[in-house]
Amino acid sequence: MRPEDFAAPDGPPDGGCGPIRSQPGAAAAPLGQRILETVRAEGRIARADLARRLDVSAATITSVVADLIAQGFLTEEDRPVRLGQRGRPPTALGIAPGAGAVIGLKLGEFRHSGVLMDFAGRTLGRASLDRAEPSRDTGKLLDEVAELVAKLTAAAPSPPALLRLGVGLPGFVDHHTGSTEWSPLLPPGRHPLAEALTERIGLPVRVDNDANLLTLAELWFGHGRDTADFAVVTIEQGIGMGLALGHRLYRGTGGMGMELGHTKVQLDGALCRCGQRGCLEAYISDYALVREASTALDLSVRASQSAQVILDALHDQAKAGNEAARTIFRRAGRFMALGLANVVNLFDPDLIVVSGARLRYDYLYSEDVMAEMRGLIIDTTRPPPRIAVNAWGEYGWALGGAAMALSESTEALFAGDAA
């Protein structure tokens, strides 16, 4: 099993972007919102097809679409929707790119990344910002976000008006209130990050756990577009998880669920950076592997080197046959199998996507790991879920932040409308 490097599109093809929901399953939303979401998901669609998809009369579609065109959210295209048909081809509807723009940001300990995206889902610009050294200074983090937003808006000539920012970061994030309970990027304690960023940037800001952003990226641009129920497990500095149920992100009652990395796999076990012991993350994450690497590498010579250099050296030695190094990855792989099996037994997803920056350490998702996972899940007549490995690259997380901002901007347009 090898990772596929998903190339984030600069503009959505005719296939569109966004979750492809069965209709009329989203009937609780206002019709205008459903029309915009369906057109964006399809990329291009004729009025008649839109009416059938939403199970709404053609006259009603014509009326609402005319309003959305007048407001600048939809546009008509001359290109036919279906080739080879007789008679005058139906005119295609599409999202008007000039309707607005959003920014998605992924904040990290060593590097921040961002994308600028128009209302149609087209990426207009990308930018990143290296951190000279990791810090837990709130004011400095706000300064860095402001600098990255400025870089993004400068990267695109005459971008549409900015509507909203979607921001993700590691840690325990209460999406509903916009506060962080704990993050390696911030001082200990609760921080109203969304409120602080809104005041600093001057635009509405929503924050979320970074694993949820990658799940949104899958839901809008990747494997999850046409899959109702799926999980994303991320291998980064820590271990994260996102869950989509019914084409929608599930966050838990308080907005801080799906913390797979902090499920307990060993009572009184290894110390996790969250302060507790026995967490899954304490056996798989970067710092866990570096901690174990002293048994395989001469770290007294490499004490000044970064965790990344140590991990790469550990991986190289494992590939070269160093049995101690291989044992470290094999042990981590067994804990990975246990974590994946718990996801299957708890949520029964149709698909699990394994993603993140550490996919080059293939011992963590090898066929041996997947075979052990299959041996740990409940034995039924049903086949196990599909497993996809997707290395999004640096900007995949930020794409999820932009998707969050697009979704909430679209909902906000119709917040006072009846369904």
pLDDT at position 78: 67
E strand spans, 96-210: 101-106, 111-118, 123-130, 162-169, 172-174, 179-182, 205-209
Residue 19 to residue 42: CA distance in whole angstroms: 10
pLDDT by position in tens, the chain (length 419): 433 333 344 445 456 899 987 654 455 789 999 999 999 999 999 999 999 999 999 999 999 999 999 999 999 976 655 555 555 567 899 999 789 999 999 999 889 999 999 999 999 999 999 987 778 899 999 999 999 999 999 988 888 899 999 999 998 899 999 999 989 899 999 999 999 999 999 999 999 999 999 999 999 999 889 899 999 998 877 788 999 999 999 998 877 788 899 999 999 999 988 889 999 999 988 888 888 887 667 655 455 567 778 888 888 888 888 888 889 999 999 999 999 999 999 999 999 999 876 677 777 788 889 999 999 999 888 888 999 888 778 899 999 999 999 999 999 999 866 44
pTM (predicted TM-score): 0.87
Domains of the chain (ranges plus CATH)? 10-98 (1.10.10.10), 100-217+396-413 (3.30.420.40), 225-391 (3.30.420.40)
Q: pLDDT at position 300, please?
A: 53
* 106, two tokens: 């992924």
CB-facing half-sphere around the CA of 256: CA atoms within 13 A: 15
pLDDT at 3: 35
Tens of pLDDT along 368-395?
A: 899 999 999 998 888 889 998 887 788 9
Compute the C-alpha angle 13/15/21, nearest 5°: 145
Residue 32 CA to residue 68 CA, distance in Å, equals 8
Packing angle, helices 138-155 and 193-201, rounded to 10: 50
pLDDT (0 to 100) of residue 25:
46
| Cβ-contact 213, 397 below 8 angstroms | yes
Task: Give me the count of residues in the chain.
Answer: 419
User: How far apart (Å, rounded) are the C-alpha atoms in residues 393 and 113?
Assistant: 11
